[in-house]
Structure 1
Amino acid sequence: MKSSKSMWSLETNKKRKTTTTTEKKKLSPNPSLPDDLLLSIVARVSRLYYPTLSLVSKSFRSLLASPELYKARSLSGHTESCLYVCLQCCPGYRWFTLCRKPDQTLSNYTTKKKSSGYVLATVPIPSFQKGSFSSLVAVGSDIYNIGGSNYHGPSYSVSILDCRSHTWREAPRLRVEQLCLSASVLDRKIYVAGCYNDSDSNSLKNFLEVFDTKTQIWDTEPIACSGRIDNFLYSKSTCIDGKFHVVTEREGVIAYDSKKGRWDRTGQSLYYLIYSNSFCEIENVLYFVSDGEFMWYDTELKMWRDMEGLVGRLSRLPPDVSVRLADNSGKLAVLWEEEDLPYCRPGFTGMKKIWCVEIALEKRKSKILGKIEWFDHVLTVPAENDLVKVLAATV
């Protein structure tokens, strides 16, 4: 017969095992959540956290790229603007997206600061045709690469990056094999201006085609752009004031009014854009960084004005850095490069940092104030890498 002491010991051990098992069950996540519930939960999580969630498991990666998830996000009103960055590397191109990575500490020159938590994460996107600042545009959840790119040989091709599934698909081709082009978006239509080699006349001719992103069809008739219009070779374009503006090398700026179906000359105020890729349009206002200064274009007075309100080192960027701008839900996203390590020996190319700042914009009569929401070092890359373009997709 067992003693009362041994019986007590057995009963105590049994209770301990039961308690431990119960505690483990409470701490362990339920691995068998219904698919609909899991979909509903993830759809409400900010897209900024998706790169981290994709590391959980293969099934999570599959879920994060599924059409059902983005349908659920849309129905629940949780779509948001996400920044995508295209870098030209050696060799090829790489894509990154802005995401959250909390609890980081970075060195800001001689002072320490707590990281904003924003970083650029690599996006596993298959290789694509060469892109350029002028050939890449974003509409909704898609990024379009029109004609492959400028300066890389003739091309008809148009490809679309789906920023939900991170896959490329082909779109209807351009009608003419372009030598170079510049694309901009107006009312969800993509306006493409460029040059092609006319075999009949053995000369360069301009073209302007319009792609409707809703119907995925090019307009049946190309828009006339010959006569006294300057050659569109190596031109830049932007859409403001309801018009498609083309900046040409010799004759300045012309604008196409789709409602009136005509071209108008607009003077020389926007001519500086021909030498720069540091501009973007936000809510019908054109923003520009020139020699490190933040500026905006007054369409009524047809002149550039300085942005006010910025303070400290971000009131003016170094004049020799490469800068790219994007509309991020009505805020100005600015990315620029900064050399980190100097060239110190043959064969050592060094590294450089990519910084990002998000600026809230406030219009006050005849001026625009900028307020810095956050800024941070978001990526370090080899010095030979170059910023191509920053775009915002809605997903």
Structure 2
Amino acid sequence: MSSKTRSKKEESPEPPPLIPSLPEDIIINILARVERCYYPKLSLVSKRFRSLVTSHEIYERRSSLGCTEHSLYVVLYNRETGKGELHILRRNANGSHRLVLIPGLPDMPAHGSFVAVGSRMYVFGRLNSVISIDCRSHTVHLLPSMNVSMSDPFADIIDGKIYVTGYCNNTMKMVMTVFNTETQMWEPKKTMPETMGGLNMWPDGCVVMAGKMYTRDNINSFVFGYDPKESKWEMDNMLNMFRWRDACVVDDVLYYYDWGGKVRAYDPKESSWVVVNGLEKLVAEARFSDRFYTGSYSGKLALFFWNLHGTRVIRCAEISLERRQGKEIWGKVEWCDDVLLGGRFKVMKTLDVIV
């Protein structure tokens, strides 16, 4: 190499990377506009980036800029280890999707209940234990224990309050207790009708529609609705028409996958059931599965289906919804991918988290 060439290179060194040289406030402004699915890769750039993408400052900036996103979290029960795991749905660079295990978290309770409130997830265990998970940083916080001991709790949220129902371990009667997410305190437990506390009913799921919580059993399909404004329980005969389970609610309409090969919807305002149209190809593919779960995600459906005894692959389809001509509901499959390969898993709960 000539001395002239060396001299030229010495005089024109490569400029340093632009972003690391910027003030931190400007970097936060830039990163806040980046889709959250790229944060894991950004965290590999440097320790500084790793700290920023998990900081409260960047999520506050995302909120002020209107850059928040809906993220789908999925609680899976691993039948091989006997433990619950928390996964998040990620989009790959090629546009496909996969479930990614979130490391560093405690085991999710196999018989617990899970509720999402904004960017936070609440986990209610069997032995009165309660934790919250900040999904911005995936950090865990201990909360006050439930003021009643119950088995197999089910929970959902209405107006900032989480209503938890289950069988009291001491009296073997159905009870309800309420957790206020604003005060982070428990309210006095509520009594439930004697008809709900008998041996013929064991809670098997709950949903919230139009400000009311509906709880069903796993045998007789009895469905009771609870109105917190009136503190009143009553049976809902129309919801008893089908034995829905692993259901979700989108825009106050209940959806679930019927074992007969249909996605059914119930509108409480119309008090009527309909079959979601436009999903014939998807349900034809899903008919070879023996497990199904329907979750809500950013105003859409996320239908999971898999076969525990055959090929161990969990598939997920994202379905957008449209109402036509009054009561008709049509679905459109946005994508359908294999999101988890191998293992024997059960989908316990999906959670729509805003971050």
TM > 0.5 between the two? yes
The answer for the alignment partner of 1:377 in structure 2 is: 338
Q: Residues 313 and 287 of structure 1: is their aligned pair in 2 closer, same or farther, counting only changes over 3 Å?
A: closer
Q: Is the 8 A contact 1:156 1:177 kept in 2?
A: yes
2: distance between equivalents of 1:197 and 1:87? Answer: 25
Gaps of at least 5 residues in structure 1 are 1-8, 104-115, 150-154, 343-350
Partner residue in 1 for 2:35: 46
| Alignment partner of 1:123 out of 102, 118, 122 | 102
Q: Give the deviation of 1:12 after TM superposition.
A: 5.1
Amino acid at match of 1:60: F
Residue in 1 that maps onto 2:296: 327
Specify the alignment match of 1:209 in structure 2. 177
- Which of 79, 89, 93 is residue 98 of structure 1 equivalent to? 89
Rounded to whole Å, the distance in 1 between the matches of 2:317 and 2:221 is 35
Give how far 1:44 is off.
0.9
1:269 maps to 2:260: no
SS at match of 2:312: strand
Q: Give the C-alpha shift of residue 272 in structure 1.
A: 4.4
Aligned residue runs from structure 1 range 295-374, under 5 A: 295-314=264-283, 317-318=286-287, 320-338=289-307, 352-364=312-324, 365-374=326-335
Q: CA 1:363–1:14 in 2, change beyond 3 Å: closer, same or farther?
A: same
Report the CA distance shift for 1:263/1:94 in structure 2 as closer, same or farther (over 3 A): closer
Output one character per residue of 1:58-102: Cα deviation in whole Å (capped at 9) or x when no partner.
332222211111111111111111011222223223222122321
Aligned residues: 348
| Deviation per residue, 1:345-395 (Å, 9 max, x gap) | xxxxxx62222211111122111111122221222132x232222211111
1:159 Cα deviation after fit: 1.1
Superposed, 1:1-395 pairs within 5 Å as: 10-11=3-4, 13-15=6-8, 17=9, 21-22=12-13, 24-25=14-15, 28-89=17-78, 90-91=80-81, 92-103=83-94, 116-132=95-111, 135-146=113-124, 148-149=125-126, 155-198=127-170, 203-219=171-187, 221-231=188-198, 233-248=202-217, 249-250=219-220, 252-267=222-237, 269-270=239-240, 272-273=242-243, 276-277=245-246, 279-291=247-259, 292-314=261-283, 317-318=286-287, 320-338=289-307, 352-364=312-324, 365-382=326-343, 384-395=344-355
Is the Cα contact below 8 Å between 1:54 and 1:64 reproduced in 2? yes
Q: Aligned to 2:322, what secondary structure does the other structure show?
A: strand
Q: How far, CA to CA, are the matches of 1:179 and 1:118 in structure 2?
A: 35
The Cα offsets for residues 264-288 of structure 1, whole Å up to 9 and x where unpaired, read as 11116346446x32x1011101010
Structure 1 stretch displaced more, 54-63 or 359-368: 54-63
Shift of 1:157: 1.2
Unpaired runs of 5+ residues, structure 2, are none
CA 79–242 in structure 1, closer or farther in 2 if over 3 Å, else same: same
